[in-house]
Amino acid sequence: MNNIKIISYNVNGIRAAMRKGLVQWLQQSSADIIGFQEIKAVENQIDTEALRQAGYHYQYWFPAQRKGYSGTGIISKIKPKNVVYGTGIDYMDAEGRNIRADFDGFSFMSMYLPSGTNAERLAIKFKYMDDFLDYAKQLRKDLPKLIISGDYNICHEPRDIHDPIRLQHVSGFLPEERAWLSAFIDSGFIDSFREFDPRPEQYTWWSYRAGSRARNKGWRIDYHMVTPELKPYLKRSIILPEAKHSDHCPILLEL
């Protein structure tokens, strides 16, 4: 396998991110494959030509049925052998939360797990978590070299959040959510970032409120999760906080 650079990025609206210089940044990053989450757009609203000129000739978009909401996408300089839109789980697919591209030697999924902003959405998040874990276990059997990257909307450990005591009752750091992420990892995935970097205070999302980003009051909720079969190929897995097109920052995986 030649060196391959993969970026995952919750852009919180791809049109807004492109207005903030996303395309120029992508050109500098020289990633081969990019998974987006929260695109909040359908394909004809996206400047796909600008992305094509940046080298991403293969583009796959999976918007939510509801306009201006959720949605995922994958753009690539390498042609995938196969692209799968969704999981076949109807309520997930209505929100455009999963898209997968299969390449020679590995498969890559961009995934956007719901946030539990209120009691109703938290119930949907828990249902999604359970259904997706079952789906991922099956998928691993067919695709042993699998990367599931994206916004998991869960901090795993106290070192992944800026105030673990005060926030332990907030969705994103609830004991049940953290236990689910542990179960997900135990089912056959590696948190690639933690293979390389044990430090606390390494975050991928900051609230827009109260100057959180400048003060690094953040959460690490974006992950490149890889199956153990890919562990020998891991070269690096890093957070790129200098990119500021969203309330999230991109994360980079190099194989």
Residue 226 clears pLDDT 90, i.e. is over it: yes
Looking at residues 221-236, what average pLDDT do you find? 98
pLDDT band for position 1 (cuts 50, 70, 90) = low
DSSP letters spanning 173-205? S-HHHHHHHHHHHHTT-EEHHHHH---S---SE
Mean pLDDT of 235-248: 98
To the nearest whole number, what is the mean pLDDT of the chain? 97
* Per-residue confidence band for 32, with pLDDT thresholds at 50, 70 and 90: very high
- Residue 2 — very low, low, confident or very high, per pLDDT cuts 50/70/90? confident
Spans of all domains in the chain:
5-254
Place domain 5-254 in its CATH homologous superfamily. Answer: Endonuclease/exonuclease/phosphatase (3.60.10.10)
Q: Is the pLDDT of residue 217 over 70?
A: yes
Residue 95, pLDDT > 80, answer yes
pLDDT tens string 35-63: 999 999 999 999 999 999 999 999 999 99
Quick: pLDDT tens for 137-183.
999 999 999 999 999 999 999 999 999 999 999 999 999 999 999 99
Residue numbers annotated as active site: 151
What confidence score (pLDDT) does residue 155 get?
A: 98
| DSSP calls for the chain | ----EEEEEE-SSHHHHHHTTHHHHHHHHT-SEEEEE---S-GGGS-HHHHHHTT--EEEEE--SSTTS--EEEEESS--SEEEES-S-HHHHHTT-EEEEEETTEEEEEEEPPP--SHHHHHHHHHHHHHHHHHHHHHHHH-SSEEEEEE-----SGGGBS-TTTTTTSTTS-HHHHHHHHHHHHTT-EEHHHHH---S---SEE-SGGGTTTTT-EE--EEEEE-GGGGGG--EEEE-TT--SSSB--EEEE-
